[in-house]
Amino acid sequence: MSQGKTPGLGRDDPVLEVDGLSKRYGERAALRKVSLTVGRGELLAVLGPNGAGKTTLLSILAGITKPDGGRISRSNGRIGWVPQQAGLYRRLTVDENLRLFARMEETGDVEGTVERMLEQTGLADRRGDQVSSLSGGNQQRINIAIGLLGDPSVLLLDEPSSGLDPSQRIRLWEFVAGLSEAGTAVVYSTHQIEEASHYGDRLVVLADGETIFDGSFEELRRAAGPGPEDGSADPENDFVRFLRERGH
């Protein structure tokens, strides 16, 4: 996905650095000394089975949950956050939602920002429609657009494609890819390896709260070892094999 990006984007220009993040819920350790770096315009997929700690990591990065230990440093700029369930007022129209959050984000030019977001999401013709009347995919676009209102340098997406049909997913990832190409670092959680392999510059795999992999999909494949004898490439099989070999 990084072929079309502006030169100079990537890990060499970090916008977010995480070092040794830990979080416990009672006896259960949700995160154990997780570290990662995100570069400008990078698309980072946080991958892992259910309960691996993906949502906890994103919540901490978003400032919703306080970590028990560790350090987060970021370059100038805000962190945008997009919850898994669209956080929108369904009785308000598309532009009313955008306008409300733009005002609360204290963006300088509220109307200009709303217009830009409507254009970016491709929903200008639906601006007067109540959010409840939009499809799940379009609601998710508005959801992401609100996360972008503060013009963040890093955008966090918590399982953004869950509940979307294949065509909606493709449109969503095209939209996200556009953001990345424009220089916004995107960190998203998913448990779908195929999605991560297609739309991620880099993958961080969490299991039981620990980072067990940080690299590209090709590196993950190699780490997973040889696949079936017929040589068929199936990212899902590769990922499961990788997890099993590490006892997960």
The footprint of other proteins (CB under 8 A) covers 62-64, 81, 83, 85-90, 101, 104-105, 146
State which residue, 90 or 222, has the beta carbon closest to other proteins.
90
- For other proteins, the closer of residues 172 and 212 by Cβ is 172
- Measured CA to CA, the distance from residue 124 to residue 131 in angstroms comes to 13
In the complex with other proteins, which residue's Cβ is closer, 62 or 196?
62
Q: Give the strand order in the sheet containing 10-25.
A: 28-40, 10-25, 69-74
What minimum distance in Å lies between the beta carbon of 104 and other proteins?
Answer: 4
Q: How many CB atoms lie within 10 A of CB 192?
A: 18
End-to-end CA distance of the chain: 29
Question: Cα(147)–Cα(124) distance, rounded to whole angstroms?
Answer: 18
Q: How far is the C-alpha of 175 from the C-alpha of 71, rounded, in Å?
A: 31
Q: What single DSSP character describes residue 6? A: P
- CB 138 → other proteins: shortest distance, Å? 16
Q: Which CB sits closer to other proteins, 28 or 222?
A: 28
In the bound complex, what is the minimum distance in angstroms from residue 87's beta carbon to other proteins?
A: 4
State the nearest-atom distance from the C-beta of 89 to other proteins, in Å. Answer: 6
Taking alpha carbons only, the member of 146, 99, 139, 107 closest to residue 123 is: 139
Phi, then psi, of 39 in degrees rounded to 5 = -95, 165
Residues 26/38, Cβ–Cβ less than 8 Å: no
Min. distance of Cβ 13 from other proteins in angstroms? 25
CB of 63 to other proteins, least distance (A): 6
Query: Between residues 146 and 176, which has the closer beta carbon with respect to other proteins?
Result: 146
Of residues 90 and 244, the one with the C-beta less far from other proteins = 90
Rounded CA-CA distance 204/34 in Å is: 10
* 231-237 own/partner pairs: CB under 8 Å, 24+ apart: 235/193, 235/194, 235/197, 236/193, 236/194
